[in-house]
Amino acid sequence: MALRKIVTEGDPVLLKKCKPVEKFDARLAELLDDMAETMYKAEGLGLAAPQVGIIRRIVVIDVTEDRSGLIELVNPEIIERSDEQQYGTEGCLSFPEMYGYVHRPKTVKFRAQDRNGNTYEKEVSDLFARAVCHECDHLDGRVLPTYIEEPYEPKDDE
């Protein structure tokens, strides 16, 4: 496994619509391993492939505090969104100084493939749902500054 460089604000790769993954091979497995390592090192909750310069529909997420809940989403698709919303803050490893409030569905159901190409579905809520929405937005070139509804300034004493 190896750390990858996280692409930041201003790099056009962040604004691209990513292509589906077609080959479930050793290269994909290596990329997924690297993305997880990079996410953990940066203390992020999720990372999308364009954030490491790869224009493919690949996401890793772990919203657990003890970092034991890694999930890999290849070619993810959100297939259900609850009417009930949540409103909370989001940040992004590619926009390290930026935080803001964003509405998201409280619960989403998504369909994705694992690293072997097997399709699975999962329903998630709260922070996990927020992370799935945020990372799937990355795959269509939608990034935090385009959808923050109100800025949030973290305070030093928090």
**Residue 133, SS3 per DSSP:** helix
Shortest distance in whole angstroms from residue 143 CB to Ni ion? 7
30 with 49: CB under 8 angstroms? no
CB 49 within 8 A of CB 35: yes
Question: Based on CB atoms, which residue is closest to Ni ion, 92 or 108?
Answer: 92
Catalytic residue, from 135, 150, 153, 158: name it: 135
Nearer to Ni ion by Cβ, of 48 and 112: the residue is 48
Considering the complex, what minimum distance in angstroms separates the CB of residue 26 from Ni ion?
A: 27
Give min distance, CB of 74 to Ni ion, in A. 18
For the four alpha carbons of 21, 142, 106 and 70, in that order, the dihedral sign comes to positive
Residue number, nearest CB to Ni ion = 92
Q: Look up 37 and say whether it is catalytic.
A: no
Alpha-carbon distances of 95 from 14, 44, 51, 98, 116, rounded to whole Å: 11, 12, 10, 6, 31
Q: How far is the CB of 133 from Ni ion (least distance, A)?
A: 11
CB nearer to Ni ion: give 101 or 118.
101
Task: Tell me whether residue 7 or residue 77 sits nearer to Ni ion (CB atom).
Answer: 7
Please choose, from the candidates 85, 82, 75, the residue with its C-alpha nearest in 3D space to the C-alpha of residue 109.
Answer: 82
For Ni ion, the binding residues (CB under 5 A) are 92
Q: Could you list the active site residues?
A: 135
